[in-house]
Amino acid sequence: MPVHLHTHSHYSLLDGLPKIPELLDLAKEYGYKALALTDHGNLYGAIEFYKEAKKRDIKPIIGVEAYLAPRSRFKKEGKIDALNFHLTLLAKNFIGYQNLVKLVTLANLEGFYYRPRIDKELLFENKEGLIVLSGCPSGQIPYLLREKKFDEAVQVALEMKSVFGDDFYIEIQNHPHIKDNVLSLPGLLKVAEVTKIKKVATQDSHYLRKDDAEIQDILMAITTGTKLSDPNRLTLKDDDFSFLSPEEFKEKFKEFPDALENTIEIAEKVNIELPLGVLRMPKFDLPLGETPESYLRKLVWKGLKEKGLENEQEIIKRTEYELEIIEKTKFSSYFLVVSDIVNWAKSRGIAVGPARGSVAGSIVAWLLNISDVNPLKYDLLFERFLTPDRVSFPDIDIDIADTRRDEVFKYIEGKYGKNKVAQIITFGTIKSRAAIRDVGRVLDYPYQFCDQLAKLVPMGMESLKEAVETIRELKDLYLKNEKVKTLIDYAMHLEGTIRHASVHACGLVIGQEDLIKLVPLQRAPQDEEKIITQYDMHSIEDLGMLKIDLLGLRNLTIIENTKELVLKEHGIKIEFGEKFDDEKTFKIFQEGKTVGVFQLESAGMRRYLKALKPERFEDIIAMIALYRPGPLSLIPSYIRRRHKEEKITYLHPKLEAILKETYGIAVYQEQLMKIAQVLAGFSLSEADVLRKAIGKKIPELLIEQKMKMIKGMIENGISPSIAQAIWNWYEPFARYGFNKSHATAYAILSYQTAYLKANFPLEFMTALFNAEGYDIERAKVLIDEARSLGIKILPPDINESSAEFVMQKPNSIRYGLLAIKNVGENLALAIDEEKQRGGYFESLEDFLTRIKHKDLNKKSLESLIKAGTFDRFADRAVLLFNLDKLLHFNQTSKSTSIRQRTLFGGPLEKLSLNKVIPATFEEKIKWEKEYLGNYISGHPLDKLKSVVKNFVSIKKSQEAKILGIVEEVKRKITKNGETMIHASIDALERKFDVLVYPNVYQKDTSIWKEGKILEIFGKVKQEDESEKIICNQASELKIS
């Protein structure tokens, strides 16, 4: 049976269509025993392909369709070097794989010029273990043949043969409708005959079945930004590029039986075994005479002494237990690596999170300062983190202040070597909504039609198939509208196809040796200075390499910046300990005033906190664990039980000790593990296997574990009927039980942010504005919150403002220059630097003379004026009228005469501004809304404050009436083709979401525009996250 040796997957980005499992499933169905993967210029899919092929008992042949530079890979000049030739490279063995990795890496790091290119020098230097095919019609030999340069083509073939011997083959393809193929095929046969080089047949496969050609064509149109109707676009539709069955393959190449036979010869030459699943721990530099195990123990005991716990027997017992498992699993070096990173960061004043994930259940991690959580205090389980039978690295993820993550990465790079450290790639796929919009554009459907259709797919829904089955409106359109059905069918095929490569938000790999020996590398798509792996996190883990998630967390930056402001303003150095009992902090929780508080900000969470009125830290941990899609419905019961409004019952008395802290509701995975331990006699390691079986819904394992647990309960004296009842109750809880270790660590951050907000609201809100206030929508929320805390928000001022938001007495926050539309970072910083150098600006002339930055232009100056930045010097309308004069003054002030006059104490030239009518209040706040995104100096409803207050009336599930200004209007087309709208209404002290259905909207469409002041009557509709007003009637309020 012949073997496919030239096959593309969707890792040939937006060119190949097949996903690797689908490709291998079809290969298995066809009966192929071997298969090559040769994606364009990369090895992205190599590990996935290798694993999936092995699962199906198909021999994996790892290859790449490489790009060969016409000259040196270092030459990058114009069109001559933009031309590149395709060459098919296959790895015979592990050495060949390593050479492929090296070639692909250096093609990216050294040879990239439009494409990642190798050259012959590099290829010949790394020839061992490689089989080389001369390439598709875009290869060098076919190119020379089409250029009528037969002798040169022969010379190239002989040169390759001299290097690779019998491992070089003339690749022939049979695409009779592709002009380049037709022109080069006879010459290739002749070259093979003259040089006595064997031929090999390949099918340039880009999709699976013939009827996938249309989908692949759409994919290429998406890639090239063209439409199917464009006759000049790049396409493969002129011929068959499907994955041929053995019969089709033989039929296609029946005139070249030797070329078919040679596919088998090549497959038989290949015997590649990748060393997967072998842990590759990076070398950690140890003090003389120490082993990883002895040094880890030394550091742990040092931690015990520093915490004054060296005589606490319970802690020592737990510590010894953990160390034994760590040593047994050979993860001592891993703990040393992570401890070193975390403690280095802390020693440099870089904020590190309390912990992330199940590592908070480790007392060793706590003693090493990796975690700030004492697991014994919160009854956290080490086995949720690490069990004796674990063979892969447990996750120790690290949260770092987002503005300083790069410093930590550079430290790791410096310690282990640049050649051993890289950030990890991730792949963005075509999502449901994007697939609809992309396919619609290619089919030349109207944008609004496609957009409305895409919006019917709920965010987060797993697939279009699920959406069509569950969303009634979408299902009706799919079944009744042929145009919609065509669009969605195409989109379903493309959904999940890889769209682009980017840098993983937090993942990095530390190698035991140079990464290039196992992992192909490339430059980051958006940052050429950054080197990333070509393997994603899953492939990195398959290779047994150490992956660390170093996540930049904005909230840590907010905490640190708040602490700095508190120290500067009050001389108080805040050090968070292990006590969580501050009254002011719990008052914030109880009142639901948690905007800006980590993990507790959403409207639904705030509502539940107000109902719960938490009085203990454990309630915050529970709310973080419960406020998720699965267990969300349990929160009302949790709250009622907390207030003794609902009876707490247990299926068995032994459950009480485990579930008492959460009022009889199983919230945490750790509780579920303990239930298995106490009631069924499981070890905690066995209980963790049970947890995984239920969570991952593995049917065979689940049945086995169910029988084991019921049997264990019966053996522990529980009756069969109660044992079955406990299992029936237990299994659903186990599906959505949350990791208590993670919830506890994050609850600490929740408490810390709430503490700062409760005790230092001005400092906290200033830090929050600087972290999040540059987003207009977010700034609206923060402004409302600041005002509710009695903090005044001041407009920008050229002297009082900094680039960032700043505190200003009494109890005010001044807008930063960076928050003004069209004022970039460079100009804002230049203004700051000039004020530091020469002091405040004494006049408009002084400002225009001293600021000579190129970014001070008509656009930015107009923005500064309209935002109110120069109000201290002149009226905004006057300045706008004289804008050209101001710019001219700024330009002429750069002349030598002006500079000299100022230098020697001469008076500044005075501006003579033409007078106009001053800006009205309405104009000022309109400009602020436009350039700051919000009303700052005042509000359009200020004159109506008392009217608004008396008019607005909201009763839950009852009638509502609102008087407010329209902030935003979003239109939506219903399935009947009618327009409805979703309006955001600002009623001074409150914001409302208003739904206006077609029958109401059509009564007067003109009033639903931004800036209109409306009286609205309707009904309250309560939803999980918020309440909405269904509008029954609305009218515009005219203000004279």
In this structure, what is the dihedral angle of CA atoms 443, 448, 453, 456, given to the nearest 10 degrees? 160
In this structure, what is the dihedral angle of CA atoms 87, 93, 96, 97, given to the nearest 10 degrees? 90
Strands (DSSP E) along 403-545, which ranges? 421-429, 498-510, 521-524, 527-533
The reply to whether 886 falls in a domain is yes
CATH number of the domain to which 532 belongs: 3.30.1900.20
> Is 436 found in the same domain as 349?
no
User: 810 preceded by cis ω (within 30°)?
Assistant: yes
SS3 content of the chain, % helix, strand, coil (to 5): 50, 15, 35
> Is 188 found in the same domain as 119?
yes
- Which DSSP category does 1031 fall into? E
Helix (H, G, I), strand (E, B) or coil at 37: strand
> Is 801 found in the same domain as 923?
yes
Max CA pair span of the chain: 100
Q: What is the pTM of this model?
A: 0.89
Picking from 269, 300, 334, the residue at the C-terminal end of a domain is 269
CA distance linking residue 435 with residue 432, whole number of Å: 5
Helix (H, G, I), strand (E, B) or coil at 205: strand
> Is 708 found in the same domain as 663?
yes
> Is 300 found in the same domain as 254?
no
CA distance linking residue 520 with residue 98, whole number of Å: 9
> Is 225 found in the same domain as 91?
yes
Neighbours of 446 (CB within 10 A): 10
**According to the model, what pLDDT value does residue 325 have?**
97
- What is the chain's length? 1040
The reply to whether 458 falls in a domain is yes
CATH number of the domain to which 824 belongs: 1.10.150
The reply to whether 624 falls in a domain is no
The reply to whether 589 falls in a domain is no
What's the angle, vertex CA 331, arms to CA 328 and CA 344, rounded to 5? 150
Bridge partners, 67 (sequence order): 86, 117
**According to the model, what pLDDT value does residue 1015 have?**
92
The reply to whether 565 falls in a domain is no
The reply to whether 34 falls in a domain is yes
What rounded mean pLDDT belongs to the chain? 93
> Is 480 found in the same domain as 331?
no
Q: Rounded to the nearest 5°, which phi and psi values hold at 549?
A: -95, 115
* Residue carrying structure tokens 């600490």: 748
* Residue carrying structure tokens 């505190």: 807
pLDDT tens, residue by residue, 146-198: 999 999 999 999 999 999 999 999 999 999 888 889 899 999 999 999 999 99
- Please enumerate in sequence order all residues whose Cβ is within 8 A of that of 377, keeping only pairs 6 or more positions apart, or say none: 578
> Is 965 found in the same domain as 915?
no
Bridge partners, 547 (sequence order): 509
* Residue closest to 16 by CA, chosen among 27, 6, 26: 6
> Is 403 found in the same domain as 261?
no
Q: Rounded to the nearest 5°, which phi and psi values hold at 117?
A: -120, 135
- Which DSSP category does 841 fall into? -
How many domains, the chain?
6
Neighbours of 59 (CB within 10 A): 17
Tokens for 620, please give them. 């915050």
Bridge partners, 37 (sequence order): 62
- The residue range of the domain holding 711 is 629-737
CATH number of the domain to which 175 belongs: 3.20.20.140
> Is 949 found in the same domain as 883?
no
Three-state SS sequence of 764-807: HHHHHHHHHCCCHHHHHHHHHHHHHCCCEEECCCCCCCCCCCEE
The reply to whether 956 falls in a domain is yes
* Residue carrying structure tokens 């716990």: 309
Picking from 495, 521, 547, the residue at the C-terminal end of a domain is 495
**According to the model, what pLDDT value does residue 11 have?**
97
CATH number of the domain to which 464 belongs: 1.10.10.1600
CA distance linking residue 803 with residue 853, whole number of Å: 15
- Please enumerate in sequence order all residues whose Cβ is within 8 A of that of 700, keeping only pairs 6 or more positions apart, or say none: none
CA distance linking residue 853 with residue 828, whole number of Å: 10
The reply to whether 85 falls in a domain is yes
**According to the model, what pLDDT value does residue 897 have?**
47
Picking from 238, 269, 300, the residue at the C-terminal end of a domain is 269
589's enclosing H/E stretch is: helix 583-591
In this structure, what is the dihedral angle of CA atoms 788, 789, 794, 795, given to the nearest 10 degrees? -40
Low-confidence ranges of the chain (pLDDT < 50): 896-899, 901-902
In whole angstroms, what separates CA 439 from the centre of its chain? Answer: 24
CA distance linking residue 518 with residue 102, whole number of Å: 9
CATH number of the domain to which 992 belongs: 2.40.50.140
**According to the model, what pLDDT value does residue 971 have?**
85
> Is 436 found in the same domain as 419?
no
Rounded alpha-carbon distances, angstroms, from residue 353 to 367, 625, 670, 745, 796: 15, 18, 22, 8, 34
Tokens for 246, please give them. 């053995």
Q: Rounded to the nearest 5°, which phi and psi values hold at 531?
A: -95, 130
CA distance linking residue 517 with residue 1010, whole number of Å: 60
Helix (H, G, I), strand (E, B) or coil at 203: coil
**According to the model, what pLDDT value does residue 905 have?**
53
Three-state SS sequence of 147-193: CCCHHHHHHHHHHHHHHHHHHEEEEECCCCCCHHHHHHHHHHHHHHH
**According to the model, what pLDDT value does residue 899 have?**
47
> Is 638 found in the same domain as 679?
yes
